[in-house]
């Protein structure tokens, strides 16, 4: 019996493959689209049984050639570019693809764990898994939102596990291929290494310089939640963040100090870093005004209600680990 991880060469998918390996699982079918071939690097330290390109995988599913041979599907494969404007592509890749795999898992009565997104909340200020708080602002968010609505319709009659996770701002190892869509922590690290400073937005919409806040969640914690749900077979749609909003100032300070620690230098306060020009504030872009989320914070009461009690890493803890990995 095989575990299937879609988006296996991507950021979260590759971390899930590695986590399965650490639990002794190597009978893994990795599914992805390697049009951007550099993603293969994410799996070079992982053990898998086979790799399938997405169309080939779907063909096997549709023709029944995988019937009876799959233990569970961890579905991370999607177009995650929030700037993508081809709605037909987005809906086919994110919505229809997910629907086909959920149908397969239902027929086979096997677990289906999938990636949703905090983008379903759009510009709202309440981040709770309820329909009246959901209003996506782009077609990416809508593709995730629509699939979540189908899941809600099916949960009460499902004979097997269906669990969706609304990821907030995930950062950590194996995201280098994402380019501009990589996390802020990744870009801060590279800015500091290249220029000796980190650039943040000036204040806007009532927030002081660098004080815009997000729920930054370390990918290691994302993996832990997925693995726990795979073991406990809990169903539902859940926010996956820390439940704690932290500022870009905190993130930048953590990144710079983690880099300084590697050089044997002492940590500095935000005020010291700003005074030294190590943290620099730049004008808030006109193009982002009215379209920028200045605050996100996951309500994780539903997740805690399942019995999941592990603590989530703070920005200082998670970024410290990440910087060590990036600097290898």
Q: Which residues are catalytic?
A: 140, 178
Beta strands in 210-305 (DSSP E): 213-214, 216-218, 236-240, 246-247, 279-282
Rounded distance, CA 243 to CA 310, Å? 12
Give the CA count within 13 Å in the CB-facing half-sphere of 2. 19
> Three-state DSSP class for 8?
coil
Cβ atoms 256, 104 nearer than 8 A: no
Cβ atoms 38, 19 nearer than 8 A: no
Q: Which two tokens stand for residue 91?
A: 């809906």
Closest by CA to 113, choosing from 298, 242, 238, is 238
Q: Which two tokens stand for residue 30?
A: 């990795």
Which residues make Cβ contacts (< 8 Å) with residue 226, sequence separation at least 6?
Answer: 16, 19, 74, 113, 165
Cβ atoms 184, 256 nearer than 8 A: no
Packing angle of the helix pair 219-232, 11-22 (nearest 10 deg): 60
Rounded distance, CA 212 to CA 292, Å? 10
H or E element that contains 197:
none
Q: How far is CA 137 from the centre of its chain?
A: 18
Cβ atoms 106, 159 nearer than 8 A: yes
The count of other CB atoms within 10 Å of the CB of residue 41 is 13
CA distance readout (Å), 191 to 172, 185, 187, 200, 245: 16, 10, 6, 11, 23
């Amino acid at each position: 019996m095989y575990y299937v991880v879609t988006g296996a060469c991507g950021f979260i998918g590759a971390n899930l493959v590695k986590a399965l390996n650490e639990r002794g699982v190597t009978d893994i079918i990795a599914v992805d689209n390697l049009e951007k071939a550099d993603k293969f690097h994410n799996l070079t330290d992982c053990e898998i049984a086979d790799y399938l390109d997405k169309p080939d995988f779907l063909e096997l599913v549709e023709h029944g050639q995988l019937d009876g041979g799959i233990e569970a599907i961890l579905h991370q494969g999607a177009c995650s570019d929030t700037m993508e404007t081809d709605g037909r592509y987005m809906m086919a890749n994110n919505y229809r693809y997910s629907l086909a795999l959920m149908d397969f898992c239902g027929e086979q009565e096997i677990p289906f764990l999938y990636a949703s997104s905090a983008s379903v909340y759009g510009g709202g200020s309440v981040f709770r898994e309820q329909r009246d708080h959901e209003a996506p602002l782009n077609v990416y968010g809508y593709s995730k939102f629509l699939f979540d609505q189908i899941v809600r319709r099916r949960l009460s009659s499902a004979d097997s596990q269906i669990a969706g996770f609304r990821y907030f701002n995930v950062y950590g190892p194996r995201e280098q291929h994402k380019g501009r869509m990589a996390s802020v922590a990744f870009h801060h690290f590279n800015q500091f290494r290249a220029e000796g400073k980190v650039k943040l937005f000036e204040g806007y919409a009532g927030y002081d310089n660098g004080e815009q806040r997000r729920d930054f969640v370390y990918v290691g914690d994302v993996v832990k939640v997925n693995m726990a749900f795979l073991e406990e077979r809990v169903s539902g749609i859940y926010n996956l963040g820390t439940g704690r909003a932290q500022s870009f100032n905190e993130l930048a300070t953590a990144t710079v100090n983690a880099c300084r620690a590697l050089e044997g230098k002492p940590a500095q306060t935000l005020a010291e870093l700003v005074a030294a020009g190590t943290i620099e504030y730049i004008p808030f872009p006109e193009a982002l005004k009215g379209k920028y989320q200045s605050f996100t914070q996951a309500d994780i009461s539903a997740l805690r209600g399942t019995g999941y009690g592990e603590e989530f890493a703070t920005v200082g803890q998670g970024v410290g680990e990440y910087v060590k990995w990036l600097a290898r």
